[in-house]
Amino acid sequence: MQKIYTLFIALFLPCFAWNTLAQDGTIYPLEAPKEPNAIPLGTGSVKDQPAPESWFRQWGDPMARNISKATLTPFFPEKGKANGAVVIVAPGGGYRWLSMGNEGWEVAEALAKKGITAFVLKYRLFPKAPSLDDFTAWMNRPRPAPQKMDSTSKNTNPMAQMDLSNQLADAEAAYAMIIKNATGWGVDTQQIGMIGFSAGAGLTMHATLNSKTMKLAFIGPIYGGMGPVKVPENAPPMFNVIASDDFLFNAQFGVIDSWFKARRPVEFHLYQNGGHGFGLGNPNRTSNKWFDAFIHWLDVNKFLVAK
């Protein structure tokens, strides 16, 4: 079986060089890294795409924008250490860019070290300006302060109203590809879960609520929208994480309440601090232990044992 180290060398050694540079919020142009193991999903292109895929670096992390061709990149455990479990990893970025390092490759590598076969889903995005300067200006635009919420408030997350048909098709194609190659990849088709970060958490939830083809064993929306949802029958167990100082939290517990009232298994971690976009963790934040808790949750619920 292909080892994870080949992919690590190809993708992560350049990250060490990037991280020696400024790790502020400034956006820097970045040459697209090689992705030798990325598998095209063949889900088509993006209508009215003005520019080809391009990359930039922010906070020391590689990010991609204007993605019009979806891919799936596997991270396999070392030989003999795979437990059969699978996780599809969906990075975030407001559906306009993807945080490929912080919320994609690094998470997949950490999962593989735990014996879980991970797949980073590079899904299609909504088009943005070809110019990096124009994109930077859009990223730095003034934003209104979050509205105060109370127990009667509805989900005001604007991402909840987006047309995610392309992104859902990409997630479904990723799931189908894993099912098709399950024997060769040594994975258990009954143990396929999905986690996502920010917009990736939104895609994870969207797939859970709307897909007719994906039968996820578990889901992990990490700092995603917290508004109430209509829970489908036999919805998968959910592991949910957010920090209290994240603008997406805003004192909402709707999705947790929805899962609980539907009598579906749910575990919720509200951390004191961490902000938004912390990935596996930032220094001196209480949210840094979420990944350990997630692995423990998978273990206790027997998702790490082949069925």
**So what's the pLDDT on residue 9?**
33
**Domain assignment present for 150:** no
**Domain assignment present for 147:** no
**Domain assignment present for 168:** yes
How many separate domains does the chain show?
Answer: 1
Q: Report the CATH number at residue 196.
A: 3.40.50.1820
The low-confidence residues of the chain, meaning pLDDT below 70, are 1-24, 145-160, 307
Residue 236 and residue 205 in contact, taking contact as beta carbons nearer than 8 Å: no
Whole-model pTM above 0.85?
yes
**Domain assignment present for 30:** yes
**Domain assignment present for 13:** yes
Domain hosting residue 293, numbered range: 4-135+157-300
**So what's the pLDDT on residue 50?**
76
**Domain assignment present for 148:** no
**So what's the pLDDT on residue 138?**
79
Over residues 178-236, the pLDDT tens digits come to 999 999 999 999 999 999 999 999 999 999 999 999 999 999 999 999 999 999 999 99
**Domain assignment present for 145:** no
**So what's the pLDDT on residue 141?**
83
